[in-house]
Structure formats: structure tokens, C-alpha cells
Amino acid sequence: MPDSELSSQLVSFGLTRQEAEVFVLLNRVRNSGATGVTGGSAAELTRLGRVRTYQILQRLAGLGLVEVEPGRPRRYATVAPQVGMRRLVALQETRLTDLSLMEAEVSERLSKASPIRTEPLGDERKEKASTTLLRGISNIQTVARRAMEGQELRIVLNEDSEDHITTTVRYMSHKPRSARVIFATANREQRAFESPELEIGGYTYRVRVFHGELPTVVITRNQCLFFVYATRRRRPKPLSPVTVSTVVSDCVTVENPRFVAQMGTVYESFWKASK
């Protein structure tokens, strides 16, 4: 794997591009059998300049990815790759926990932020759809709950999204007024449910089965939400088995009366074609 691609992967774990490049360099030094490298030598190899290189080395040392060997001059060496990556993952897990704790407070403060008036939009601009792309489970869940609470919902589910959507409804403070669900499956052996109404997590849904592949969509009175799911592999502990789970990765919301009406018409067509 080229160094540039490896550096890009490390950026996903929270390092900057330059930090990732220095970290890769120090691991290459480690793989050569050397016990470490001086800051001056690292600066020559990275071509980042002595001051910037020393700043990055101190940053990596602070993250626990680099060990500083005393002496004149000091030498810098990376910890074992497995140890370094575990520490990077732990830092991201800690950051996610901190953000989750702040979620309720920030959401409340945003809802109470002082309003700002804008000039009325012309009719032409009002007709344009307001589209938003959401990423991150916390953001998606907050918007989904607010959009779905107390609404008459028309939902399309599939094997990937069944647990996510029904769990979201289960933990709502105010349940939807009603919910019709098209369960889309490519499994031709999937039969229609014995009863058109199913109770899931204490809430009753009207459910029909559609044989075919459809994306996950939630239609409310004035909004459409399109959900995208991804498969993630995770190893909770260094020696534990890898677990595979499907999680929501993106959500696109569209607010426009005409578009919602069109999507509602499409939904009714699939509803009639379902069993």
C-alpha cells in the first residue's frame, strides 16, 4: 500500500495529514530495525522543516503514539502498531462519548437561540425544495425523531433498516399518530403477514410486503427522509472476535409540499402493489 493511501486511512482516525505522514515514517524506521530517529533526521526525511517536525513529534508523543528516548539528541520511536491504533480508536470513542453527553444540551440551546428575521422569499424560491444531508448517528436520530413524532407516517423498510426505524419509533416521547409500512424484500419466499397490523416494541403498524428492492424512506405531512445504511466491522477488544453490524450512515431530508405530494403518490402505488 502506498504511503499516501496509508496516511489517508490514518486521517480517518483523527490525525492530520502531516501527523499521519510522520507517523508512517516513524513506523517505517521501526520496521527497518532501528531503535528510533532524531528530530533532525525526521525533519530531513519529511521535508517539513525542523520546527514543524518537532511540533508534530510532540503532538504524537502526547497522543501516546511516540516514545521519546532521553539523551542528546533525543530519539523518537513509535509504539507497536497494534498499541498505537488501539490508542487512536480509544481517543475517538472518548470523543464520541463526550459528544453524546453534550447532544441534549446543545440541541436545547439551539432550539432556544434568538430568532433572526429574514426578508420574505418570492413564490419561485418558495417552491424550491430544501434539501439537507445529515451524517453521524446522533445528528440523524435527533432530526428523525423530531420529524416523525406525532405524524401520520408512510414508511418503506428493508432488511437493513427494519431494526433502526422501529427502534427509533419505540423510544419517541410522542408516538406517531399512525404508521403504514411497506416491507421491501428481494426474498420471493417472504409471505404477507397473517395480520395487516403488527405490534412492534409496543406500537402498532399497518404492514404490507413488497417483493423487490426499495430504499428506506419515511414520508411525513411535509417532509421526506431518505436513509442510507452501511455495514461496519468492529473488534470491541484486541482479542475479541470481529462483530458485523448494519448502521445508519447518512440521511437526506427534503422539505417541499410538491415533492412530498409526488412521493406520497409513488408510495400509494407501491402500497397497492404490496400484499
**Residue 253 pairs with which residues in a beta bridge?**
132, 225
Looking at the domain assignment, is residue 44 inside a domain? yes
DSSP of 109-174, one letter per residue? HHHTSPP---PPPPHHHHTS-EEEEEESHHHHHHHHHHHHTTSEEEEEE-TTTHHHHHHHHHT-SS
Q: How many domains does the chain have?
A: 2
* Per-residue cell: 3: 504511503
Looking at the domain assignment, is residue 97 inside a domain? no
Looking at the domain assignment, is residue 120 inside a domain? no
CATH number of the structural domain spanning residue 215? 3.30.870.10
Same domain for 162 and 42, yes or no, is no
The count of C-alpha atoms lying within 13 angstroms of the C-alpha of 275, restricted to the half-sphere facing its C-beta, is 11
Same domain for 141 and 265, yes or no, is yes
Looking at the domain assignment, is residue 63 inside a domain? yes
DSSP of 64-97, one letter per residue? TSEEEEPSSS-EEEEPPHHHHHHHHHHHHHHHHH
pLDDT digits 0-9 by tens, 233-250: 777 676 778 777 788 889
CATH number of the structural domain spanning residue 49? 1.10.10.10
pLDDT digits 0-9 by tens, 111-148: 778 877 766 555 545 556 688 888 888 888 888 888 99
- Of 28, 53, 83, the position where a domain reaches its end is 83
* pTM value surpassing 0.85: no
Looking at the domain assignment, is residue 105 inside a domain? no
Q: Which residue has the cell 427534503?
A: 254
